[in-house]
A and B are shown apart, each in its own frame.
Chain A
């Protein structure tokens, strides 16, 4: 039961309602008994249709009754087809068949008016169209537009619309215009923003080299950023546009790549930017004179199917003589990475770059958006969405330069949006670690792997990307963090 208020009623009213319901139950039971009897005798006829109609008009969730109606329709169509006709009467026969479908279509429409959120009704309509010899897809598009006017968030209607516009071959441009109109009427419409997010990448594909790929061409991206900010500022407390904005700014996880590797004579570790499996994992060291060595028997560090860290205890004679590392797996096309030396070991390390360079046009747009957000913050210093978006814009523009300010904003967000306090803490930790790793990768190669010191990072409350740390001999953490991981954090020396 959704959305049914419990109301206080008098004894009298309760009695009256009870009697009314008892009658309904009686009628329902009588009808279902008749339906069952007819079904047992395979009587899929007009009477059967008539028995099921009133029940479905009240309660479209009774799937079996829709199944029975489908049986009836198939039986009726079969019967019409079996009648022998002269060629000149073929058209009339087809007309009869179409009539069967039309009648059923109007029933579904009556039912939809009462219950536009019933899976069964929408599916029955789809089934009818698929079975009908002459489906009118254009009419279905109009129907969707009508229903979306009544409820612009009904996901059943949106799903159905996507299905029928494809059948009706409505151009994507037209759909985009429809979306724009819908959003103009009401910015707070996540369903429209979602629909838009499917159309734009197809209409304006991104062809640059940024990774992860931008959702659409930078030219279009700039336009969308402008549009969405206008929407967001219209009602800064509505989340729909802000979600879309964050997607535009690009916050997908990094693409799968090897990010850290270290090989000593008795063990090897290999880390990836994100979770993956060892399916078809192939790790080969190559050196001068065509010398190659394959390292096998990799295991996940967490003992699960997928992990970011893999290790092998294969012995390797003199690892430091190899210059390159070749890695491939089912999910990763082969890449060759340059190895560095650390004492007798060979290693590779690539810290994640947090921001990628935009074209000057987009960059200008981002900067002006940041200005707008900042000025809004002057009036509404506790606006959650503004604080978060400002922080994200700063990261997109230059994460190094704005690091301290973004940290300040995340700290503030923990207070003004305390329900998600831990989310912001984890996000801050992620950004801190990213910065620290870039710093670390710049240390002198001779000393780098000896240790990484994270003990001075006050806002670091968890290690979101600990796979980068695995190549260090020692990981120095604050007291709190050491306690939190209670020896569960591995460094290279204790694998």
Chain B
């Protein structure tokens, strides 16, 4: 759940690439499996080293994508679990992205998500994690990302997602009412969407976090579904791809943020699934495997999960079902008996 890579400058002046309707690509299933499997095998790889600061999320993206493709056994469960254990901070209880780095709520969620998929929560000190999350809530209901005080609705989502996955009663661990109030104070009257803090412009990534937060806290009735749903379906561009804000370029990761939000709100049918599928498939790298943000760009593991995840939400054949709220395989949710709220289609 890291948006750090959103921070890279995008070339917003270029025209959006349009896919040719006549040639629908196939999913290069085995190439993607190989791409994820090989990710990190060369520890001296430049990209791999430079993304060390988000390693835990990187593993979550790879593990989840492979599980959705029913190929989880290709990764070494034990070494991943051992790595996660080494990343838990003994003082705070939170998880660092990698050894030598500081704990943060973003990587704490990733760690918990991976352990849930591996059914291995008993391997870590869960109570310490709960205390960590509780310690980050502020008087106004918001959450810090770590002890340095950055506030963002992403962290509100992370907090309730972690507690939900640990099967903790939200009402007795955090101040849910205030947490909800804070998230709703970030809701914009113009478009029904959400930004990262009160007054911030609506952004599909943050909308996913806030809608997901309301789904986990069972407060979806606070949304203006018609208004927000319209703004979200307007993210679809002629290429079939989705952007994150008006007049921006399409990007495979928004396939997830927008699509998951529409799914939770029961409005998935407001966009064209076929056109979106075409766009996502056009972003595959058919040489190396993996998905890029846009057609013709370099692939990475982040976009690979969100490409595969979005295809799963669209019911693509050969993929396991994914849960829209937590971006994890549905069977894991069933095993944990976690049922985030979703609205029905009218």
A residues sitting closer than 8 Å to B (CB atoms) are 1-6, 21-22, 24-25, 28-29, 32, 36, 59-64, 66-67, 70, 115-119, 123, 127, 153, 155-156, 158-159, 162, 188, 190-191, 193-195, 197-198, 201, 215, 238-240, 243-244, 247, 251-253, 274-277, 302, 304-306, 418-423, 426, 429-430, 462-464, 466
Contact B102 A194 (CB under 8 A): no
Q: Which of B8, B196, B247, B344 contacts A3 (CB 8 A)?
A: B8
Across the interface, do B344 and A239 meet the contact criterion of CB distance under 8 Å? no
Contact of A304 among B236, B275, B293, B341 (CB under 8 A): B341
**Chain B contacts of A253 at CB under 8 A?**
224-227
- A sample of 17 more A-B contacts (CB under 8 A), given A123-B150, A426-B270, is A1-B292, A1-B298, A3-B11, A4-B297, A6-B292, A25-B49, A117-B9, A119-B7, A119-B152, A153-B12, A159-B195, A306-B219, A306-B220, A418-B272, A419-B275, A426-B346, A462-B345
State whether A119 touches B221 (Cβ < 8 A): no
Residues of B within 8 A of A156 (CB): 7
Q: Say yes or no: is B100 at the interface (Cβ < 8 Å to chain A).
A: yes
A420:B298 contact, CB within 8 angstroms: no
Chain B minimum-CB-distance residue to A26: B44
14 chain-A/chain-B pairs, Cβ below 8 angstroms: A1-B300, A2-B6, A3-B9, A24-B46, A61-B54, A67-B148, A119-B152, A156-B7, A158-B200, A194-B190, A194-B201, A194-B202, A304-B218, A423-B233
List chain A residues, Cβ under 8 A from B188. 194, 197
Within 8 A of A (CB), among B233-255: 233-234, 236, 238, 240, 245-249, 251
- 0/1 interface trace, chain B 80-113, chain A, CB 8 Å (1 if under): 0000000000000000100011101000000000
With a cutoff of 8 Å between Cβ atoms, the chain B residues found around residue A430 in the complex are: 226
Asked if B285 and A6 make an inter-chain contact with CB atoms under 8 angstroms apart, the answer reads yes
Given contacts A155-B200, A420-B270, A423-B230, contact A190 B9 (CB under 8 A): no
Inter-chain CA distance A28–B45, complex, in Å, is 12
Contact across chains for B7 and A251 when beta carbons are under 8 A apart: no
Contact, CB under 8 Å: A63 / B191: no
Interface assignment of B50: CB less than 8 Å from any CB of chain A: yes
Given contacts A197-B188, A419-B275, whether A155 and B201 have CB atoms under 8 Å apart is yes
Is A21's CB under 8 angstroms from B220's CB?
A: no
Known contacts: A61-B54, A155-B200. The answer to whether A190 contacts B296 by CB under 8 A is no
Q: List B contacts of A251 (CB < 8 A).
A: 226-227
How far apart are B286's CB and chain A's nearest CB, in angstroms?
Answer: 11
Contact B199–A239 (Cβ < 8 Å)? no
B residues near A25, Cβ cutoff 8 Å: 44, 46, 49
Does B277 make an interface contact (CB < 8 A)?
A: no
B246 and A64 contacting across the interface, CB-CB below 8 Å: no
How many of chain B's residues touch chain A, expressed as a range?
Answer: 35 or more
Hey, which chain B residues are within 8 Å of A422, CB to CB? 269-270
The answer to whether B8 touches A2, judged by C-beta atoms less than 8 angstroms apart, is yes
Contacts A36-B100, A155-B195 given; indicate if A4 touches B298 (C-beta within 8 A).
yes
Point out the residues of chain A lying under 8 angstroms from B220, CB to CB.
275, 306
Q: Chain A: interface secondary structure?
A: helix
Contact of B7 among A118, A193, A239 (CB under 8 A): A118
Whether B148 lies near A70 (C-beta < 8 A) is yes
Of chain A, the residue at the smallest CB distance from B229 is A423
Task: Name the contact of B104 in the complex, choosing from A4, A63, A423 (C-beta under 8 A).
Answer: A63
Q: Which residues of B contact A (CB under 8 A)?
A: 3-12, 44, 46, 49-50, 52-54, 96, 100-102, 104, 146, 148-150, 152, 188-191, 195-197, 199-203, 218-221, 224-227, 229-231, 233-234, 236, 238, 240, 245-249, 251, 269-272, 275, 285, 292-294, 296-300, 302-303, 341, 343-346
CB-CB under 8 A from A67, the residues of chain B are 102, 146, 148
**Is the CB–CB distance between A420 and B271 below 8 Å?**
yes
Q: How far is the CB of A383 from chain B (nearest CB, A)?
A: 15
Known: A153-B245, A155-B201, A253-B227. A420 touches B221 (CB 8 A): no
- Which residue on B lies nearest to A124, using beta carbons? B148
Are B247 and A190 in contact, with the CB atoms below 8 A?
yes
Q: Which B residues lie within 8 Å of A463 (CB)?
A: 346
Residues of A within 8 A of B200 (CB): 155, 158-159, 162
Q: A197 vs B187: C-alpha distance in the bound complex, in angstroms?
A: 13
Which residues from chain A contact B236 at a C-beta distance below 8 Å? 419-420
Chain B contacts of A420 at CB under 8 A? 233-234, 236, 270-272
Q: Which of A70, A153, A162, A215 contacts B189 (CB 8 A)?
A: A215
Once the chains bind, are A464 and B149 in contact (CB under 8 Å)? no
The answer to whether B150 touches A119, judged by C-beta atoms less than 8 angstroms apart, is: yes
- Does the CB pair B224–A64 fall under 8 Å? no
Chain B contacts for A276, CB-based, 8 A? 221
CB <8 Å contact, B191 and A6:
no
In the complex, chain A residues whose CB is within 8 Å of the CB of B197:
159
Check A153/B248 contact, CB under 8 A, given A61-B54, A123-B150, A191-B201: yes
Closest chain-B Cβ to A464's Cβ sits at a distance in Å of 5
**Contact A162 B9, beta carbon cutoff 8 Å:** no
Q: Which residues of A contact B233 (CB under 8 A)?
A: 419-420, 423
Q: Please tell me if the beta carbons of A1 and B293 are within 8 angstroms of each other in the complex.
A: yes
Cα–Cα distance between A29 and B48 once the two chains are bound (Å): 12
Q: Which residues of B contact A191 (CB under 8 A)?
A: 201
Indicate which residue in A5, A115, A274, A418 contacts B221 across the interface (CB closer than 8 Å): A274
Would you give the shortest CB distance from A485 to chain B, in whole angstroms? 10
Chain B residues with Cβ below 8 Å from A306 are 218-221, 341
Residues on B with C-beta less than 8 A from A118 are: 7
Contacts of A464 in B (CB 8 A): 346
Name which residue of chain A comes closest to B98, CB basis. Answer: A64
Contact (Cβ within 8 A) B221 A462: no
Q: Are B344 and A302 in contact (CB under 8 A)?
A: yes
Nearest 4 A-B pairs (CB), nearest first? A275-B221, A306-B221, A21-B46, A190-B246
Residue of B nearest to A1 (CB): B300
A238 contacts across to B, CB distance below 8 A:
247
